[in-house]
């Protein structure tokens, strides 16, 4: 394993709790239409993300025009010193292009862990509303729940993703966690609102924590509707991951000059 680059080391030094990593691709596969799984190995000393935290990768690798792109750590395997990412590849940006073409042996600079949102351990029910980019965060967070609890998901996938992929993007939760998994094929807002209404009404356990991850306008709309459905604002965690028709900034954040966001 090579030491991390100076570029990654400099960035990591500015970010609290983050370390620089030199990662090599060890496996790739398809999770569902538009989502590619990448397994990356490296020296993970000092890299201990909690469920839902992410890693920034510098793409295209070793390119003067590289930009940071953030991906949630879907899995971490200390025994093999590997992490797994689920990356959406239906974009024409450097992150999607990198993940589509990635093959075993490719290396990439990375920095992490990043991210502030964590599971609300005091909630009895957990509602995840995500698009394809948020599926990894939803799965890793829901799978970390050990106490008896209820998980409800509303996942909005691109039309190309077929229902046969629903199981592949469902969290594999502990035995005493009940999972109600809903996958919608298109971002039809009216239909999504109906599904959300019905899903929240059936959450008989209280209190409910909600987590919303995905496109910026989607995130804003979903968050705005949750308090009226009885979910306390203090129990809603949201993070915009990308923005329709706009590339993310070079630091990996979606541009949000006109948006007030929670994290
Ligand atoms: C904290 C955090 C965690 C994230 N975790 C994940 C993750 O686990 N998996 C994941 O796939 N993404 C995740 N993202 C989102 C990912 O970093 C962005 O989607 C990123 O912009 C993709 O980069 P890109 O270079 O491919 O596209 P960009 O250069 O950002 O954008 C190029 C074009 O693609 C469009 N685009 C960007 N993302 C998508 C998308 N998901 N679907 C459709 N069109 C898109 C843009 O609107 C733009 O038109 C996360 C983002 C953040 C901030």
Is 154 inside any structural domain?
yes
Q: Is 94 in the pocket of ligand 1 (CB under 6 A)?
A: yes
Is 73 inside any structural domain?
yes
Is 259 inside any structural domain?
no
Q: Which of 75, 92, 114 is the last residue of a domain?
A: 114
Residue 162: the pLDDT is 61
Does residue 137 share a domain with residue 106? no
Is 263 inside any structural domain?
no
pLDDT tens for residues 43-69? 999 999 999 999 999 999 989 899 999
- Supply the pTM of this predicted model: 0.96
Q: What is the secondary structure of the chain as a DSSP string?
A: -PPPPHHHHHHHHHSTT-EEEEEEEEEEEEEETTEEEEEEE---TT--PPTT-EEEEEESTT-TT-EEEEEEEEEEETTTTEEEEEEE--SSSHHHHHHHH--TT-EEEEEEEE------TT-SEEEEEEEGGGHHHHHHHHHT--SSEEEEEEEE--TTS-GGGTGGGS----TTEEEEEEEESS--HHHHHHHHHHHHHT--SSSEEEEEEEEHHHHHHHHHHTGGGT--GGGEEEEEEEBTTBPPPTTSPPP-TT-----
Number of folded domains that form the chain: 2
Does residue 77 share a domain with residue 28? yes
Does residue 76 share a domain with residue 12? yes
Distance (angstroms) between ligand 1 centre and the Cα of 204 equals: 34
Does residue 141 share a domain with residue 77? no
* CATH classification at residue 206: 3.40.50.80
Is 173 inside any structural domain?
yes
pLDDT tens for residues 178-192? 999 999 987 688 999
Does residue 135 share a domain with residue 232? yes
Distance (angstroms) between ligand 1 centre and the Cα of 88 equals: 7
Mutate to test the pocket of ligand 1, among 248, 249, 253 (most ligand atoms within 8 A of CB): 248
Q: What is the mean pLDDT of each run of 10 residues along the chain (263 residues)?
A: 88 95 97 94 96 98 94 96 97 97 97 97 96 97 93 89 78 95 85 94 92 97 96 97 96 80 44
Distance (angstroms) between ligand 1 centre and the Cα of 62 equals: 20
CB 118 within 8 A of CB 50: yes
Q: Is 52 in the pocket of ligand 1 (CB under 6 A)?
A: no
Is 231 inside any structural domain?
yes
Does residue 64 share a domain with residue 164? no
Nearest ligand 1 atom to the CA of 72 is 8
Distance (angstroms) between ligand 1 centre and the Cα of 147 equals: 32
Is 254 inside any structural domain?
no
Mutate to test the pocket of ligand 1, among 35, 38, 88, 186 (most ligand atoms within 8 A of CB): 88
Does residue 165 share a domain with residue 60? no
Does residue 89 share a domain with residue 39? yes
Q: Is 36 in the pocket of ligand 1 (CB under 6 A)?
A: no
Residue 263: the pLDDT is 46
Residue nearest to atom 22 of ligand 1 (CA): 95
Residue 60's domain comprises: 6-114
Mutate to test the pocket of ligand 1, among 52, 242, 250 (most ligand atoms within 8 A of CB): 242
Does residue 141 share a domain with residue 50? no
Residue nearest to atom 12 of ligand 1 (CA): 133
Is 97 inside any structural domain?
yes
Distance (angstroms) between ligand 1 centre and the Cα of 77 equals: 24
Distance (angstroms) between ligand 1 centre and the Cα of 183 equals: 20
Does residue 175 share a domain with residue 106? no
């Amino acid at each position: 394993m090579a030491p991390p680059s100076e570029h990654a080391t400099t960035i990591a030094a500015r970010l609290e709790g983050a370390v620089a990593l030199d990662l090599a691709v060890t496996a790739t596969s398809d999770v569902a239409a538009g989502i590619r799984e990448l397994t990356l190995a490296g020296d993970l000393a000092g890299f201990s993300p909690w469920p839902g935290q992410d890693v920034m990768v510098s793409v295209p690798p070793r390119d003067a025009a590289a930009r940071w792109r953030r991906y949630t750590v879907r899995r971490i395997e200390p025994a093999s010193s590997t992490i797994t990412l689920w990356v959406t590849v239906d974009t024409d940006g450097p992150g999607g292009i990198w993940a589509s073409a990635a093959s075993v042996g490719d290396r990439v600079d990375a920095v992490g862990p990043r991210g502030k949102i964590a599971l609300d351990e005091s909630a009895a029910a957990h509602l995840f509303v995500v698009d394809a980019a948020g599926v990894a965060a939803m799965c890793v967070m829901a799978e970390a729940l050990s106490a008896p609890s209820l998980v409800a998901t509303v996942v909005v996938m691109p039309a190309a993703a077929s229902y046969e992929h629903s199981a592949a993007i469902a969290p594999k939760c502990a035995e005493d966690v009940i999972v109600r998994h809903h996958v919608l094929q298109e971002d039809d807002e009216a239909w999504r609102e109906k599904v959300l209404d019905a899903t929240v009404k059936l959450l008989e356990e209280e209190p409910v924590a909600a987590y919303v991850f995905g496109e910026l306008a989607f995130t804003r709309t979903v968050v705005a509707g949750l308090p009226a459905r009885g979910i306390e604002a203090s129990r809603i965690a949201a993070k915009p991951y990308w923005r329709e028709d706009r590339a993310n900034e070079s630091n990996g954040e979606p541009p949000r000059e006109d948006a007030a966001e929670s994290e």
